[in-house]
A and B are shown apart, each in its own frame.
Chain A
């Protein structure tokens, strides 16, 4: 699952260092890229991520994103 999430993220923008644990808090992901990633995850795993889950804690790292997806798969 983690590898798949990482692959999706890299497909969207491979210039970003996704090993960071502060993707949102560190200002690495802007809102446009964040939306791209979230909607792509929804599409790829066929899930609906509710808006309240779009928080820095859930998108700060690949691990956090994986955990979020696992909750809805």
Chain B
């Protein structure tokens, strides 16, 4: 039997291996893909060829997830490209007509043109949102995923285009920007399609602005050792966060959240607290690695995390965590609602009638509720995610409305807000609020959340932390030490970044042996301490599922 197997040509083995594997960022297939892609990319000199090679890379990456999905995304891109160009063409008429008109007349004429472009905008938005809602609803109703059209019809499954929640948001933003005349329409379909399915950001974001990415795509820089080296360092750091910390912690947290009834209160508390660090290491690790890859290519992706664990309150936390999602909802949901003339007139009328507090409250809460309901639904379709969204909305509103009262309390208690101890207290408080929010969704819905909280207080059984029981749930003692060392390193790096220190610049300033000791140390620790999942199937990234 063994003899027969060895007779098979090795290339067939490799093909079979690659055929079965998923193309996730932490798989062997992806490493092979990336190495081939980058090596050939660096050899190219012609800017057009470079752009097209990126498109080939994107298609290779995307087609791995199925032809039908790629077909849907290509059709969506075609609709977006055509609509944006159509809207721009209509506005060109306005540009020609406006010369000689007063600003007021111009504003009036523009309204007519906007009415005409709106038809196209609504058509394209319906198409993009329609597909997205269909996929979300399909998931909510429990339909399985299918790879081909015939499979979808036969097994009543849905085709889920890779990264649909990410490219849909970017596309909607792009269409609205062209409609509001904040961005120019892209005339090259291939360029637009390239940035839309750009492989470093298609799976988990960051949710980029096509205009910014297109500008960079059209001016790709030449190979530069320093940039590529720094990009690869960032990539390596991302892999370390993901494979040493996140994939290790998840073994423990997922065991606890799968059956909270089997665990002691203190073990559940630890799992809830660690789940924040696990998510942070997972998601920000992925962002570091994709930003690193993109930096090597010469395209700077938007920053998605800015030391969120140092945030002092809920508002600051969300300005530092998943920044691009927050920025998107602020620009395309919060401000358009808050600035809506009818809404503004209504609240102003209220104010004039003496209901000042109610007007200001409504002004803040209506757009905020819309943002958080959207954020909740973006993460998942269940009721648990809606509650999670409302939880954050309530926290933000409470913190704003009680600010004057708390300030008075601080003065009364003589609390010095600039003191380090107070800042640490604020960060810990924010961390705990985030951890509490996680309980709504981590244990499989609201019933799981209830069970988690009940169990948390049912029996704390403190001794399980010390008698060795803790080390029997998926992570042994050594693994816990490694995870904690990884967390300490991650927080130290964040602390340095918070102080404005660029670590990669510092490393670049060192002598060659020290530099390479760093690189080898990082690579070696990744190889030795990285978790490769059961059967060497790498663990999936959390945010790739949205």
Contacts and interface: CB of A to CB of B under 8 A. Distances in A.
Contacts of A72: 103-104, 107
Contacts of B334: 31
B348 A35 contact: no
A38 B37 CA distance: 49
Nearest to A48: B341
A51 B339 contact: yes
Contact of B341 (A31, A36, A42, A71): A42
B341 A32 contact: no
Given A43-B344, A55-B182, A35 B104 contact: no
A39 interface: yes
Contacts of B335: 31, 35, 51, 54
B33 to A, nearest CB: 40
Contact of A32 (B104, B182, B364): B364
Interface string B360-399: 0001100100000000000000000000000000000000
B497 interface: no
B347 A39 contact: yes
Given A39-B338, A52-B180, A31 B347 contact: no
A28 interface: no
Nearest to A31: B330
Give chain B's interface residue range (CB within 8 Å of chain A): 20 to 34
A42 to B, nearest CB: 6
Interface in B325-368: 330, 334-336, 338-341, 344-345, 347-348, 363-364, 367
B181 interface: yes
Interface string A52-63: 101100000000
Contacts of B367: 35
Interface in B266-306: none
Contact of B181 (A49, A52, A70): A52
Given A71-B104, A72-B104, A72-B107, A39 B336 contact: no
A36 B339 contact: no
B339 A54 contact: yes
Nearest to B345: A43
Interface of B is mostly: helix
B344 A51 contact: no
A71 B98 CA distance: 14
Contacts of A71: 103-104, 107
A39 B342 CA distance: 10
B341 A35 contact: no
Contacts of B340: 51
Contacts of B345: 42-43
Nearest to B343: A39
B182 A35 contact: no
B339 A35 contact: yes
A50 B109 CA distance: 13
Nearest to A46: B345
Interface in B84-135: 103-104, 107
A26 B101 CA distance: 34
B40 to A, nearest CB: 40
A73 B102 CA distance: 12
A70 B104 CA distance: 9
A11 to B, nearest CB: 12
A52 B364 contact: no
Contacts of B347: 39
A38 B338 CA distance: 10
Contacts of A35: 335, 338-339, 363, 367
A43 B344 CA distance: 8
Contacts of B363: 35-36, 39
A49 B335 CA distance: 12
Nearest to B347: A39
A35 B336 CA distance: 10
Nearest to A55: B182
Contacts of A55: 182
Contacts of B344: 38-39, 42-43
A39 B348 contact: yes
Nearest to A39: B344
Contacts of B338: 31, 35, 39
A49 B104 contact: no
A39 B336 CA distance: 12
Given A32-B364, A35-B363, A72-B107, A51 B336 contact: yes
A40 B367 CA distance: 17
A55 B400 CA distance: 25
B339 A49 contact: yes
Nearest to A68: B103
Contacts of A43: 344-345, 348
A72 B367 CA distance: 25
A51 B333 CA distance: 11
A10 to B, nearest CB: 17
A32 B363 CA distance: 9
A52 B400 CA distance: 27
Contacts of A73: 104
Interface string A19-41: 00000000000011001101110
Given A42-B348, A54-B335, A71-B103, 18 more contacts: A31-B338, A35-B338, A38-B339, A39-B338, A39-B339, A39-B348, A42-B344, A42-B345, A43-B348, A48-B341, A49-B339, A51-B180, A51-B335, A51-B339, A54-B339, A55-B182, A72-B103, A73-B104
13 contacts: A31-B330, A31-B335, A32-B400, A35-B335, A39-B363, A40-B348, A43-B345, A48-B341, A51-B180, A55-B182, A71-B103, A71-B107, A72-B104
Q: Closest 3 CB pairs between A and B? A: A52-B180, A39-B344, A43-B348
